[in-house]
A and B are shown apart, each in its own frame.
Chain A
Amino acid sequence: MVMPSSDWVELNFGPQHPSMHGVLRLKAKLDGEIVKEIEPVIGYLHRNAEKICEMTYFNDNLIYFDRMDYVGAMNMEVGYLEAAEKLLDISISERVKWIRVIMAELSRIAAHLVWAGAYGLDLGMLTPFFHCFIEREKILTIFTEVSGSRQEVNYMCVGGVYQDITEKAINEIEDFVREFPKRLKDIFNMLMKNDIFLSRTKGIGILDKETAISYGVTGPMLRASGVEYDVRKAEPYLVYDQVNFDIPVSYKGDNLARVLVRFEEMRQSLKIVEQAVKKIPDGPYFNPKAKKSLMIRMRGEGDVYARTESSKGEFGVYIVGDGGVKPYRVRVRSPTLRNLSVLPELAKDVMIADMIAISGTLDLVFGEIDR
């Protein structure tokens, strides 16, 4: 029996709902258990970050970028600095580039670990979450070791990094690189050996190549749909052209493909970190042109767009400077917003449980969507 659309039940998932990561609200129209239509409503975490960035100095803006993708803050800093340093015409040393690569990749692992744990919770698995967070805590300890804060690190600054990476931190990173694969394998086995998990992910929420491209989906989601695109390979920034790594691709485009791509990305990031720790050269960690009291006197003119690969996808920053000490306009291309916009397409005529499983694979972080 087909119910007329007027008999559909309208149900709000979120903003306070156990499985809506952050504050997503989904207006769903249900026909019994089947989701007929779905409309994401965003804006509950809007903090006006882009406008605030026009009121602070170039260097101070970093703390607002930390709070965009708060689970992988280093990636956001790299993204902003790629643009800001181009605009301010400040070069960075080789050592700084390598430090930034290490931090960005560790941050990517940390972000993917949060996602993996939360995805287990979405499907009702309690245990992988804690194992993911135990490993994430080790990364956050490394961040504290180099920067002084756990999550909103504010480690990098225009022209370098605030504090040089220490020998102790490098040892900790090496320990992490050595010990992490064991736990990663266990987490992977907890999920992948489970037939129920496979039945919840395989063949569900298939995103085909054309739809993905037309919606501007990037990152692991796009790669899971069979597009071999990664900014780190397509347009290498920092020193990504000097490290050896592969980008994982799947041609299935379903939930399972996205899960597998993210797990493989963690392994590849680990590979990058392993190489970078060995290759890191000596040199200054700070460009003297941008040091100390000059922090509030850097002026930039013109406009710059820079894109980087954050853990969620292509993260673009567009900065316009009018020659003043503060940017005239800052605009962020948030990858998660584009990834979210494809959800109504994916979650059409699926069960409620599948809708949750699909929205889990989008890896939503609301600091970045609402900004």
Chain B
Amino acid sequence: MIEVKEPKKKIPVVGLISGMLTVSKYIFKKPVTVQYPEQKPELPDRFRFRIFLKLDDCVGCTLCEQVCPNHSINMQKVDRENPRNKRKIYPDVNFGTCTVCRNCQEICPTEAIYLDKEFETARTRNSFTYSPEELALKENEVIK
């Protein structure tokens, strides 16, 4: 328990001037902003944004669909030979509602669905939903 103290009374203008000096001393410090498109920010190792899918590893267990809090993940039928995925269903992701909670990555038993650092997903598009095949591709390879 400590009682906070009010600042001491001073001669009026002195405080104003010292406040002005505190403000203006930062003019000699370096700017902290990053010039984004030219200069990429240094992202921490664990930074994650886009969801990727390894089609060969996916077993179609629908756990990611169940755990997704926003129902951004839906299972789609994909005609693809994969002995581990008998039902031939794979998740698609609607990035319009995805909150990047990473629950799908946590729950996936085969580590087929995972998130990675790629975050520049802005482009002209018709839909925010990535089909399973598109989820398997790198961002610059996906064409909408």
Chain A 187-205 against B: per-residue CB contact (8 Å), 1 yes, 0 no?
0011011111010001000
Within the complex, which residue of B4, B22, B103 is in contact with A248, where a contact is CB–CB below 8 Å? B4
B6 touches A293 (CB 8 A): no
A248 touches B2 (CB 8 A): yes
Q: Which chain B positions have C-beta within 8 A of A260? A: 4-6
Within the complex, which residue of A168, A195, A246, A263 is in contact with B12, where a contact is CB–CB below 8 Å? A195
A149 touches B69 (CB 8 A): no
- A296 with B99, Cβ < 8 A, contacts A246-B2, A264-B2 known: no
Q: Which chain A positions have C-beta within 8 A of B100? A: 148-149, 152, 154
Q: Considering only CB atoms, which chain B residue lies closest to A62 in the complex?
A: B101
**Chain A interfacial residues counted at CB < 8 A:** 54
Q: Which chain A positions have C-beta within 8 A of B44? A: 141, 144-145, 148
Chain B interface, >50% SS class: loop
A190 touches B102 (CB 8 A): no
B19 touches A296 (CB 8 A): no
Residue A228, interface by CB 8 Å: yes
Chain B, 86-141, CB within 8 A of any chain A CB: 99-103, 106-107, 109, 115
Residue A252, interface by CB 8 Å: yes
Q: Which chain B positions have C-beta within 8 A of A296? A: 63, 66-67, 107
Chain B 21-46 against A: per-residue CB contact (8 Å), 1 yes, 0 no?
01100100000100000000001111
Complex CA–CA separation, A246 to B1 (angstroms): 5
Q: Which chain A positions have C-beta within 8 A of B109? A: 292-293
Within the complex, which residue of A145, A248, A295 is in contact with B106, where a contact is CB–CB below 8 Å? A295
Within the complex, which residue of A56, A60, A186, A292 is in contact with B22, where a contact is CB–CB below 8 Å? A186
Residue A134, interface by CB 8 Å: yes
Residue B81, interface by CB 8 Å: no
